[in-house]
Amino acid sequence: MQPRTALLIVDVQHDFLPGGALGVAHGDEVIAPLVAVAPTADVVVASRDGHPPDHCSFAAQGGSWPPHCVEGTHGAELHEAIAELEPDHVVVKATTPAVDAYSAFDGTGLADWLRAEGVERVAVGGLATDYCVRASALDALAAGFEVVVLEDACRGVEVHQGDSARALAELRGAGAHVERSTALVDG
């Protein structure tokens, strides 16, 4: 019997897609595999950044990034194909000006929600491999879930060449399975 599985779609928002304020190269390529996997999951969860305009991650406040995913803007909205999946649960993170949060589990109550749904395995994909996907997968492992990172359903920021490959290696080392999305669709 397969473990009850949640698909966690991380931050597939307009500002992280090509042309967005903090667009990830080829970020739109994660959408098709995530949409293909969604029907195989017992529950679908989406996370999104919902920053206030003065968020600490923004360069004007001393952070590393340009303003992005400001709550109430088009850039903060989930891509239409993800929204059309009608996720069972959506978590909004990094909503406090002075607190950054890369993980979908950080301050959102997601682990408790997943446990209440009987979830044992979390399949993770989205944006970006080397930041929010990495942090979310590590927190899912720490919370006791089996974790599958959907390698073809992730793209990275790549501030430094190889950041995404290093993130995937770190996740493997921490106990995550790194697989193509077809492993869930076909299996």
Q: Please say whether the beta carbons of 29 and 181 come within 8 A.
A: no
CB 5 within 8 A of CB 39: no
Give yes or no: 132 in active site. Answer: yes
Tokens of 139: 């927190």
Q: Is 93 a catalytic residue?
A: yes
The 10 Å Cβ neighbour count of residue 54 is: 12
Tell me the pLDDT tens digit for each residue of 105-158. 999 999 999 999 999 999 999 999 999 999 999 999 999 999 999 999 999 999
pLDDT digits (tens, 9 = 90+) for 67-86: 999 999 999 999 999 999 99
Nearest to 56 by CA among 105, 23, 91, 94: 94
For residue 66, what are the contacts with CB-CB under 8 A and spacing of at least 6? 21, 22, 58, 59
pLDDT for position 183: 85
- Annotation says 49 is catalytic: no
Q: For the whole model, what pTM was predicted?
A: 0.97
Given the residues 49, 69, 93, 130, select the one marked as catalytic. Answer: 93
**Closest to 149 (Cα-Cα) out of 122, 174, 128, 131:** 122
3-state secondary structure 87-115: CCEEEEECCCCCCCCCCCCCCCCHHHHHH
Question: Among residues 49, 69, 132, 154, which one is catalytic?
Answer: 132
Q: Tell me the pLDDT band of 185, cut-offs 50, 70 and 90.
A: confident
Fold assignment, 5-186:
Rossmann fold (3.40.50)
Spell out the domain ranges in the chain: 5-186
pLDDT digits (tens, 9 = 90+) for 3-58: 899 999 999 999 999 999 999 999 999 999 999 999 999 999 999 999 999 999 99
The pLDDT of residue 1 is: 66
